[in-house]
Amino acid sequence: MNSTSLHYRTFLALLIAVSIAFGWIMWPYYGAIFWGTILAIIFAPMQRRLVAALGKRRNLAALITLLLCIVLAILPVVVITGSLVQEGTMLYQQVKSGDLNFGAYFERAVSALPPSVHSMLDRYDLSDIRSLQQKLSAGAVQASQFLATKAFSIGQDTFQFVISFGIMLYLLFFLLRDGSSLSRRVTQAIPMSEAYKQHLARKFTTVIRATVKGNVAVAATQGFLGGLAFWVLGIQGALLWGVLMGFLSLLPAVGAALIWVPVAAYFLLTGALWQGIGLTAFCVLVIGMVDNILRPILVGKDTKLPDWLVLISTLGGMALFGLNGFVIGPLVAALFTAVWDLFASDGQSLPSGEVLDAGIPTPPEDE
């Protein structure tokens, strides 16, 4: 082993150790760092336009962009979250006191089923409605209690939230101001060919913007329309159900139907035909059209991820990282497919048209 190879391997080991230590130190605030980076990527085009309009005054442009980011993205989320926590707490109190009894709603819907369905339930030993009603009521109490517990924990962790929020805004300002130069330095430090780096960077930014800007806009629209429909029909907790429909609409295939289909079925079974038909028509035609029209416009087809991969990666990401996972999951899946596309097409043309260099730089070999 020559001295050059020993020097390279020692430095590489030091580089890995220092990087792991740095990541370990940053981990307690990974959520603030993550969302600061995400917002910087989303609002980077606005920052560039303001820099050009203000005569390259980057500090002023970054400050204006930061204020717009707070007004357009952060403040609405804070207001909705506060209202959601309040409504979730009220829902728990109603379920606990018996004013809102999901078990009674279930029993009423089952009793309205035709005799043939009751015969089928008897055949499969599913006719013990009282037991199912008790389980449903217990599940509703546990779910509402979970919401109330989360509301209490948010109040207890206010100081930690304020610190994380301040770190995110502080980091976001500097990422907006210096993001271009920082990204160039990071890109230059990666030991890959230029075509590889450009392809992966393009995939990274495309997935970030598509997932956050596009999917969140679609989810917010569907949640608003669903909550509005529930409010018009006089359903309690319309805001909560609207937020749940918006959140579930991030998942392909299933989406908001997990919320509105049981409600529409209840209306139809209990004889409220106009409410059931109206809710079904509104959700299928209006909310469904929002997904079919807005998602291709805002998200586009640049991510090139199949629905099943988006669904599984989103669920897996949220299982590991909580709410942050709805971005991290599809991002990792997109980078996974992009890296394997590069590996499979090494030295050939990529789908976007650029031609790859043959191979990645390797460390010096032993003599």
At 22, is the pLDDT very low, low, confident or very high (cuts 50, 70, 90)? very high
Taking residues 273-300, what's their average pLDDT?
79
Taking residues 39-47, what's their average pLDDT?
88
Rounded CA-CA distance 42/39 in Å is 5
Taking residues 138-145, what's their average pLDDT?
56
pLDDT more than 70, % of the chain: 69
Per-residue confidence (pLDDT) for residue 114, from 0 to 100 = 66
In a domain, 138, yes or no: no
Extract the tokens encoding 295. 């998602």
Q: What is the pLDDT of residues 250-261, one digit of tens each?
A: 776 667 788 888
The domain tally of the chain equals: 1
Taking residues 126-131, what's their average pLDDT?
53
Q: What is the pLDDT of residues 195-234, one digit of tens each?
A: 778 877 777 777 777 777 777 788 888 888 888 998 888 8
Extract the tokens encoding 119. 């015969």
Taking residues 326-344, what's their average pLDDT?
81
- End-to-end alpha-carbon separation of the chain, Å? 6
Cβ neighbours for 164, distance < 8 A, ≥ 6 positions apart: 29, 31, 32
In a domain, 168, yes or no: no
Residue 254, domain extent: 194-303
In a domain, 114, yes or no: no
Torsion of CA 251, 252, 255, 258, to 10 degrees: -100
In a domain, 358, yes or no: no
> Minimum mean pLDDT among 4-8, 259-263, 348-352, 356-360: which range?
356-360
- Rg value, the chain, Cα: 26
H or E segment to which residue 20 belongs: helix 3-26
In a domain, 140, yes or no: no
Predicted confidence (pLDDT) at residue 13 exceeds the cutoff of 80: yes
> Minimum mean pLDDT among 47-51, 118-122, 131-135: which range?
131-135
Task: State the chain's mean pLDDT as an integer.
Answer: 75
In a domain, 283, yes or no: yes
In a domain, 281, yes or no: yes
Cβ burial of 202 (10 Å; 0-12, 13-18, 19+) is middle
Predicted confidence (pLDDT) at residue 70 exceeds the cutoff of 60: yes
Predicted confidence (pLDDT) at residue 54 exceeds the cutoff of 80: yes
In a domain, 19, yes or no: no
Per-residue confidence (pLDDT) for residue 353, from 0 to 100 = 45
Predicted confidence (pLDDT) at residue 357 exceeds the cutoff of 50: no
Per-residue confidence (pLDDT) for residue 234, from 0 to 100 = 84
